[in-house]
Amino acid sequence: MEQFGADRIDHVTVVVTDMARARDFYARVLGLTEVPRPDSFDFPGAWYQIGPTVLHLMGKVQLDTASARHFCLWVPDIQRAARSATAAGWEVLWQTKYKIPGIDRFFLYDPDGNRIEAQGLDGTGVPAFGPS
- What pLDDT, in 10s, does the model give residues 35-80? 999 999 999 999 999 999 999 999 999 888 878 889 999 999 999 9
Q: How far apart are CA 52 and CA 87, in angstroms?
A: 28
- What pLDDT, in 10s, does the model give residues 86-113? 999 999 999 989 888 899 999 999 999 9
pTM recorded for the entire structure: 0.87
Give the pLDDT mean for 10-25: 96
CA 109 to chain centre: 9
Longest alpha-carbon distance in the chain: 52
Q: What residue spans define the domains of the chain? A: 11-121
Q: Give, in words, the CATH class of 11-121.
A: alpha beta
CB 45 within 8 A of CB 37: yes
CA 103 to chain centre: 17
CB 103 within 8 A of CB 117: no
- What pLDDT, in 10s, does the model give residues 114-130? 999 999 999 887 666 65
